[in-house]
Amino acid sequence: MTATLELDRPKPGVAVITFANPPRNQMSADALVAFHDILDELEKDLQVRCLVITGTGSSWCAGADLREERGQTPEQLKAHADSRASFGTLIGRLETIRFPVIAAINGYTIGGGMELALACDIRVGCEDAVFVCAGVNVGLIASWYRLPRAIGLGPAKHMLLTGDKFDADWALRNGLITALYGASSLLDESVKLADRIATRAPLSVEATKECSAQAFELSSESAAALHTEKFLIMAASADHREAVASFFEKRPATFLRK
């Protein structure tokens, strides 16, 4: 935990990371490293089965702190591109981390913040959420890979090429977020969603996240082979037997990750 990041565990299996660097919740290099440190802690704890990321004030996240990048040469930027102080490294890690990640978007989501949100498995928002693909506004390029996959090429180009603001209703209509809550209930509803995920069979949840991330890249033959591989592993697991038993016995399941 740092002055700009807060970690909470509101329910068994659920963790919440809050951006706490108002007013824009930008991420300095030190904050990015600290975020990785928190993820290290959560990933080692096999009881953690879902993560919610939210923000304070009027922003979710405005991406990296451009004041730090302003004086750096292209060579310097390239040198730390793969380090824990790089925004791109954090984005890639969230996509592939063991447990599902929910973005509970409470306000402005700008530039690198958009990339971070797109790396989350599920995005929900409140009526105060605003989305900006700011690459063209600051002479950079961002979100062109993940955004079209999330909402389709036409709406994505509208966001990417204009750098304009898009509100929560637009985001909901176009699939950028999948649920819209009141500002006061956003975090509670997001934790409820995370708790639902955390109480499913964990090996199955993790395999489903891993496989669905590859859905747009695999041929039908490769997808079928991957499905068979993972399905047979799940079918042989004690957690599968427990899930079936709890269904017929009408009781909550107790999963052991095996």
Residue 2 has pLDDT above 90, yes or no: no
pLDDT in tens, 161-198: 999 999 999 999 999 999 999 999 999 999 999 999 99
Please report the beta strands in 46-174, taking only residues with DSSP state E, as ranges in sequence order. 50-55, 59-61, 101-105, 108-110, 122-126, 130-132, 165-167
pLDDT band at 87 (very low <50, low <70, confident <90, very high): confident
Query: Kind of pairing, strands 122-126 and 180-181?
Result: parallel
The β-bridge relationship of strands 50-55 and 101-105 is: parallel
Residue 171, pLDDT score: 98
Per-residue pLDDT averaged across 145-158, rounded?
97
C-alpha distance from residue 179 to each of 17, 62, 185, 205, 244 (Å):
20, 21, 12, 20, 30
Which secondary-structure segment (H or E) carries 180? strand 180-181
Tallying the residues shown for the chain, one arrives at: 258
Task: Supply the pLDDT for residue 130.
Answer: 98
Q: What is the rounded distance in angstroms from the CA atom of residue 252 to the CA atom of residue 258? A: 17
**pLDDT at residue 80 greater than cutoff 90:** no
Per the prediction, the chain carries an average pLDDT of: 93
Residue 197 — φ and ψ, nearest 5°? -65, -40
Binned at pLDDT 50, 70 and 90, residue 86 comes out as confident
Q: For the chain, what percent of residues have pLDDT higher than 70?
A: 93
In this structure, are residues 257 and 201 in contact, taking their beta carbons and an 8 Å threshold?
no
Structure tokens at 144: 């062109």
> What is the arithmetic mean of pLDDT over 208-219?
95
Give the pLDDT of residue 78. Answer: 67
Read off the pLDDT band of 154 (50, 70, 90): very high
- Gap between the terminal Cα atoms of the chain: 31
Write down the pTM of the prediction: 0.94
pLDDT (0 to 100) of residue 67: 73
CATH topology of domain 5-198: 2-enoyl-CoA Hydratase; Chain A, domain 1 (3.90.226)
Listed by start position, the domains of the chain span 5-198, 202-249
CA gap 56, 168 in Å, rounded: 17
**In the structure, what pLDDT confidence band is assigned to residue 79 with cuts at 50, 70 and 90?**
low
Q: Supply the pLDDT for residue 75.
A: 67
pLDDT tens profile 100-146: 999 999 999 999 999 999 999 999 999 999 999 999 998 999 999 99
pLDDT confidence band for 84 (50 / 70 / 90)? confident
* Structural contact between residues 120 and 148, judged by C-beta atoms closer than 8 angstroms: no
Token pair listed for 202: 């964990």
- Which of the four pLDDT bands, split at 50, 70 and 90, describes residue 64? confident
